[in-house]
Structure 1
């Protein structure tokens, strides 16, 4: 079960499940976007912004400013359950 998500996706899930902001930066290679898209497709996270996950490159694609990932994506119950189960391994 620990190999269901990549180590980078796992990092996003753990940080989104924790209290407080989740500092992130847009990457020109769109790696962050691809990781979040995959977590969304798996039903672990959902977009918060009405524009969807495309809001991240729209707002930060021209800059390297740090932003709070929780303004754009939230972990949902299936994602929280995955984190709980995996942390018990």
Structure 2
């Protein structure tokens, strides 16, 4: 699961940075949500992480998790067989 150095978020045009990128492709439910939750524990409120996931249930689980835990799903996109989520950690 590669982490990357902070970098501009793709395509947002506002210079927002991603603190970590998690490549969770190939993992099945519930692992993408569990690993996303753990990664968010390691960043400060207001920081962003990007999550890549191929499990179709992640398209439901990650937005629900963000809503329930007070995080903001700033962006989500579908690629060929996988999804990318940009999450801003809540307070």
Shorter chain as denominator, the TM-score bin is 0.3 to 0.5
Q: Which has the higher contact order (CA 8 A, sep 6+)?
A: 1
- Specify which structure has the higher proportion of strand: 2
How high is the TM-score relative to the length of structure 1? 0.39
